[in-house]
Amino acid sequence: MTGQSAPSDHTLPASAAALGPNVVPDPVEELLYVLTHDLRTGFRAILTIPDFIEEDLTPLPEPQQRMLAEHLEMLRIQARRCDRMLLDLRDYSRIGRMAAPTEDHRLSDIISRSLSTAPLPDGFTLSIRGTASLSGPGNELAQLFGALFSNSVKHHDMTTGHIDITAIAKDQMVRIIVADDGPGIPSRFRTAVFDMLRTLRPRDDCEGSGIGLTLARKIVCNLGGTIEVMDSQDARGAAISLTLPGHV
């Protein structure tokens, strides 16, 4: 029909629509949202196709089947890594744009909410010292602590570990220290760890997209807070200090 524009290949993301008609969305984050959606479709196919190929391997001699099966598993691993990275990039693009209303939340409730979504693995424990109320979107506060806990677990060099959370008052804000007993973060990397896609260990040794701490920093900065890696007085362990709106 004449007079009508051609349909768009992509509908407007809900995050953009939520900004309202008079707010210009960040074009980079809109691009991230669209790309991650479309690319994930392709990688989900890559995860499935090796199954079809394996079904066709039956007539081959066993040594060839084994060799090809190993190569197909390598393909699956790389596809899963890419899919995980795309998911994390999508989550990063949504920060501040799909946030729940700002409310006061008890620190213990936020941590419980975070752990209900992504529990710590067996062998890891967590303790909280001090009480605090944080002000912000509950979904993003839970996401923030989830990213910090995940970072501690992924980079731990043992199958057991402990995460200690301390809350204290600081200049009309709340200072929270998230400390673990892992190998720690070398001083020369204490700023770089917040860079996008930065990992301190090869991905064959530590599965991760390198986006977790970048996502955490974005949430904290959007709330008007600060985040940094603290100097460690011990031979082991990493400690990340946050300041967030709230009160003790």
Per-residue pLDDT tens digits for 20-59:
444 445 666 667 667 777 777 777 777 788 887 777 776 7
97: tokens are 């744009």
Query: Which pair of tokens denotes residue 67?
Result: 């060799």
Q: Is the pLDDT higher at 82 or at 114? A: 114
**Helix, strand, coil tally for the chain in percent (to 5):** 45, 20, 35
CA dihedral 63, 69, 75, 76 (to 10 degrees): -160
Taking the CA atoms of residue 81, residue 82, residue 85 and residue 91 in that order, the dihedral angle to the nearest 10 degrees is: -120
Q: Which of the four pLDDT bands, split at 50, 70 and 90, describes residue 202? A: low
Paired strand residues for 228? 241
CB atoms within 10 A of CB 55: 8
Q: Would you state the structure tokens that stand for residue 98, as one six-digit string?
A: 């799909």
Q: Which of 8-12, 95-99, 186-190 has the lowest mean pLDDT?
A: 8-12
Contact between 227 and 241 under an 8 Å Cβ cutoff? The reply is yes
Q: Is the pLDDT of residue 138 over 90?
A: yes
For the ranges 35-39, 153-157, 159-163, which has the lowest average pLDDT?
35-39
Q: Which of 61-65, 83-87, 184-188, 225-229 shows the lowest per-residue confidence on average (mean pLDDT)? A: 61-65
pLDDT at 161 over 80: yes
Greatest distance between any 2 Cα atoms in the chain: 72
